[in-house]
Structures are given as structure tokens and as C-alpha cells.
Amino acid sequence: MPTCQVCQREWTWKQTFIRQFRFNHRMTCPSCGESQYISAKTRKKMIGYVILIPFILMSLMAIIDVTVINISPGLLYLSEVCVFAILIFLLPFFIEITNTEEPLW
């Protein structure tokens, strides 16, 4: 879970989960009220997962050959949605925050 770089207090899962949906990368610390930013390293990982996961799932679908094991396409799409949902719920455990907004590249 992220730790505030100003007051050194660790955020709870719920506090982090709510704050991760901001469009900008600024998050306000629930303890001291100071601005914290999602680190460039975390943002790069998030972009990587968004690109990689559909690619991996599509590759698995191609390898497994859905016609042989008789899985409906709807069930496969549902599984993709579930994987994304699980990732969104796990994301607060991996977010790192900094005092300043770091450029992505």
C-alpha cells in the first residue's frame, strides 16, 4: 500500500482504491492533506498491463481454440472483464507515490 512521502503514514486499501480513479495523477493524503502523485514507475506498469493483458488473453484464446473445448465467446469476454476487475482491485497494493509529479518518460 502507498506510504505518504510527507507524513509517512500508510494509506489503507480503501483510501487508495478511491483515489486511484482520478484523471490526473494527483492524490490528496487522507492524513496530512498534502498532494501526492502516482510515481512514473507505477504509471508505466499500469500502461504495460493495459496493453499486455488483452494481448495475453487473445493469444490464449487463439492457442486454446475455443471450438475444441466448446466455450462460448460470451464466457471468454466475461473472463476478460473479470481479469480487469481483479486487477483494478489489486492495484492499490502496487501503487507507489511521490511528492512531485514525475514525467512519464
User: What does the binding site for Zn ion look like in residue numbers (CB under 5 A)?
Assistant: 4, 6-7, 29, 31-32
Per-residue DSSP letter, 92:
G
- Beta carbon of residue 24, minimum distance to Zn ion (angstroms, whole number): 18
3-state helix, strand, coil in the chain (%, to 5): 55, 10, 35
> Nearest distance from residue 35's CB to Zn ion, in Å?
10
Neighbours of 49 (CB within 10 A): 16
Give the C-alpha separation, 95 to 11, whole Å.
10
Nearer to Zn ion, 29 or 42 (CB): 29
Element (DSSP H or E) covering residue 20: none
**Least distance CB 47 / Zn ion (angstroms):** 26
Of the pair 31, 79, the CB lying nearest Zn ion is at 31
The one-letter amino acid code at 101 reads E
Q: Which is nearer to Zn ion, 4 or 38 (CB)?
A: 4
